[in-house]
Amino acid sequence: MSPADLIARVPLGFLLPGVQARVDALDDKIDPTQREQLVAYGLAPNRPLVVLQQRPMTLVMIDEVELALEDSVARHVWVTWR
């Protein structure tokens, strides 16, 4: 197995701008109502995204939608990336 084959699972808030990733899970620590809203905006398991910025808020692009997340939410969104 080469390093290129490794997949990391990390909180969304840890990724640098420009990184492409895939949503793995939304942690139960996110309020259920807010979780439903995030899924409605496209932040759902198995969806690809691109991190646009991390400060002052995490900004991601999902399909054609830009979504801004507070730090307290981004650290509970789990993503995978190579």
Which pTM was predicted?
0.89
**Could you tell me which of 7, 6, 4, 1 has the C-alpha nearest to residue 80?**
7
Please report the domains of the chain, with CATH numbers, ordered by start residue. 11-81 (2.30.30.90)
Q: What does the block give as tokens for 61?
A: 């692009």
pLDDT of residue 2: 61
The mean pLDDT of the chain is: 94
* Each residue's pLDDT tens digit, 67-76: 999 999 999 9
Predicted confidence (pLDDT) at residue 3 exceeds the cutoff of 70: no
What are the tens digits of pLDDT across the range 18-36? 999 999 999 999 999 999 9
pLDDT of residue 82: 78
Contact 26, 58 (CB under 8 A): no
C-alpha 43/C-alpha 61 separation (Å) is 10
